[in-house]
Amino acid sequence: MLGALTVPGSLLITVAHGRAAGAATTSDPIVLPVQACRHLTTEHPDPLGGTRVQVLSAHLSEFSGATNCAVVGVIGKSLDFDLRLPRSSYRGEYLQEGCGGFCGLLFPSGPEASSGCAEVRGDSLAMAVDNEGHVTRSIADARWGADNPSSRLVFGSTSEHQLARVAKVLIADYYGRGPAYSYFDGCSDGGREALIEAQRYPHDFNGILAGAPANLESELNGLFQAWLIRANTGPGGREILTSEELPALHAAVVAACGQGRVYVPDPRACNFSPASIECHTQVTDTCLTAAQVRVVTALYRGPTDPAGQSLYPGGEPFGSELAWSGWFVAPPGDRE
């Protein structure tokens, strides 16, 4: 159920009247297809007013524990999509998954959880995902955007709106009626997509889950991520703060700001001082050196100019320390 996706760091946005996301239950009636899956490759109403929509294949396959009609197609020149329609367990709800990183690919196993999101599985949902209008081998590859403003427009603004309209038409073709409730779920770049949907196309979905949105993407990729690495680089190009110190740092933050929980319920209200665990005698993994204290303080603060003005909205939130490893602190065993 979608309700299980409400996790710390996520924003649940209700954008239209209707029941809460994930409210479908086993008491909701099963909606059966009114035509064979293979017939979805034939002509259907154009939901995009002239933009070419091609269904390249439609066949039965196993997905999320049930037999689904797997529909693969392309919108316009290069917006590839994958839509899965349960054959005998659909209960009237549609879920669209965001795509992480710079996207650019579809997984052959079917719609995957957006980067960092809790996995959604269940045989009652119609589900779809797209490649955001371009093809790459890795979601970390953004070279497709060079000198390609039309692809950047699809990536930045229109991909999820276009897929939502096409998917609802195909759902109506297959089941004889469109979805009763529709939801969007995205984390990281998928979270950014979620915010675009809420801001620009609020009628596409009844509910939107925006998790860890990669908002202000130009500043994020062009400044902030490079600054994170530079802030933790010492003489000789070696890391100052290593992943070995992160568990002790995280434990100290939770002890100071967790209010008796195993996590920090509100990082904004946390006033933890990294200097409180500075090593005063022997240097160990349970304390921080003076240089590491300076690094951690900067990471929490975020990048600033010489006058102290913020160059990006915020730094790393209190309580996120264990996630630094593998992101901008090299994990154990991954150093020269």
User: What is the separation of C-alpha 230 from the centre of its chain, rounded to a whole number of angstroms?
Assistant: 26
Q: Are 233 and 317 within one domain?
A: yes
3-state SS class at 212: coil
Per-residue pLDDT of the chain (336 residues; tens, 9 = 90+): 233 333 334 565 655 544 544 445 556 899 999 999 999 987 766 778 778 899 999 999 998 889 999 999 999 999 999 999 999 999 999 999 999 889 998 987 778 766 667 777 778 999 999 999 999 888 888 899 988 899 999 999 999 999 999 999 999 999 999 999 999 999 999 999 999 999 999 999 999 999 888 888 888 888 998 999 999 999 889 999 999 999 999 999 999 999 999 999 999 999 999 999 999 988 888 999 999 999 999 999 999 999 999 999 889 999 999 999 988 999 876 544
Structural domains of the chain, count = 2
User: Would 23 be classed as within a structural domain?
Assistant: yes
Detail the DSSP E strand segments found in the chain: 10-14, 53-63, 66-75, 79-86, 93-97, 125-130, 181-187, 207-211
- How far apart are the C-alpha atoms of 178 and 90, rounded to whole Å? 12
Residue 299: predicted pLDDT: 98
Q: How many CB atoms lie within 10 A of CB 55?
A: 20
* Structural domain boundaries, residue 293: 219-323
CB 211 within 8 A of CB 117: yes
For helices 189-200 and 159-175, give the axis angle rounded to 10 degrees: 80
Q: Are 203 and 283 within one domain?
A: no
Cα angle 187, 189, 192 (rounded to 5 degrees) comes to 85
Q: What is the DSSP letter of 210?
A: E
User: Would 248 be classed as within a structural domain?
Assistant: yes
Q: Are 250 and 178 within one domain?
A: no
Q: Are 186 and 265 within one domain?
A: no
CB-based contacts of 152: which residues, under 8 Å, 6+ apart?
A: 145
Q: Are 120 and 187 within one domain?
A: yes
User: Would 336 be classed as within a structural domain?
Assistant: no
- How far apart are the C-alpha atoms of 282 and 258, rounded to whole Å? 28
User: Would 335 be classed as within a structural domain?
Assistant: no
Write out pLDDT tens, residues 203-250: 999 999 998 888 888 888 889 989 999 999 998 899 999 999 999 999
Q: Are 147 and 211 within one domain?
A: yes
- How far apart are the C-alpha atoms of 282 and 328, rounded to whole Å? 26
Three-state helix/strand/coil letters over 50-110: CCCEEEEEEEEEEECCEEEEEEEEEECCCEEEEEEEECCCCCCEEEEECCCCCCCCCCCCC
Say how many CA atoms lie within 13 Å of 246 toward its Cβ: 20
Q: Are 175 and 235 within one domain?
A: no
- How far apart are the C-alpha atoms of 309 and 311, rounded to whole Å? 6
Q: Are 192 and 71 within one domain?
A: yes
Q: Are 232 and 206 within one domain?
A: no
Residue 314: predicted pLDDT: 84
CB 169 within 8 A of CB 44: yes
**Rounded to two decimals, what is the model's pTM?**
0.81
- The type of residue at 286 is T
Q: Are 7 and 117 within one domain?
A: yes
Q: Are 198 and 248 within one domain?
A: no
User: Would 136 be classed as within a structural domain?
Assistant: yes
